[in-house]
A and B are shown apart, each in its own frame.
Chain A
Amino acid sequence: DAGVTQSPTHLIKTRGQQVTLRCSPISGHKSVSWYQQVLGQGPQFIFQYYEKEERGRGNFPDRFSARQFPNYSSELNVNALLLGDSALYLCASSFTGYNEQFFGPGTRLTVL
């Protein structure tokens, strides 16, 4: 079975631009969570979605938004990029969000 997939693998943007990251969960999983991992730190929770509804949001500014589609895939959008947004963005899927979460390989975002 395919695991969690994310696209693109790498992305380079300049300050002020907007970016969209994509995630496809494991088949049968209905919940997707997004995490930001800055170099040298553990991942930090951004959003959790279940059945297309936002369940929770971490301590991130409104420049960060997300959505989940009927096929349970998800997009993370970041507007007005800052240098500090440079990080590995990880997507995790689970059956309901209350089980263990399985992570994708991540999207490496570099903001210049």
Chain B
Amino acid sequence: AQSVTQPDIHITVSEGASLELRCNYSYGATPYLFWYVQSPGQGLQLLLKYFSGDTLVQGIKGFEAEFKRSQSSFNLRKPSVHWSDAAEYFCAVGISSGSARQLTFGSGTQLTVLP
């Protein structure tokens, strides 16, 4: 069965430091991969997506992610974190189930940014 693992429940970084959030997936076919961000009490905002092609994808707010098929990973990176990046981050894989395309999410990584 398909699954998404985010091994880090909580990460703390200082403002201006680099960031990498890990995501591993289990899915038999070619995955469609996404990163979403959720601020407290809010819905999910799409940061970036990978469907095919270049394995390094750029997203909004200065985020990027790299798809590595050999490692079944899709890690999210940012070179310099801003205080406003504090939020919860979810990795998701888009799978086909019958005629539906549903998202399977990881359990999330909570990011704290220190001043």
Contacts and interface: CB of A to CB of B under 8 A. Distances in A.
Interface residues of B, number: 24
A4 B102 CA distance: 17
Nearest to A31: B101
A48 B42 CA distance: 21
A105 B102 CA distance: 19
Residue of A98, A104, A105 most packed against chain B (CB within 10 A):
A98
SS class, residues of chain B in contact with chain A: strand
Contacts of A55: 98-100
B100 A44 contact: no
A103 B45 contact: yes
A84 interface: no
Interface in A68-104: 90, 92, 97-98, 100-104
Contact of A42 (B45, B49, B100, B108): B108
B44 A43 contact: yes
Interface of A: 4, 33, 35, 40-45, 48, 50, 55-58, 90, 92, 97-98, 100-106, 108
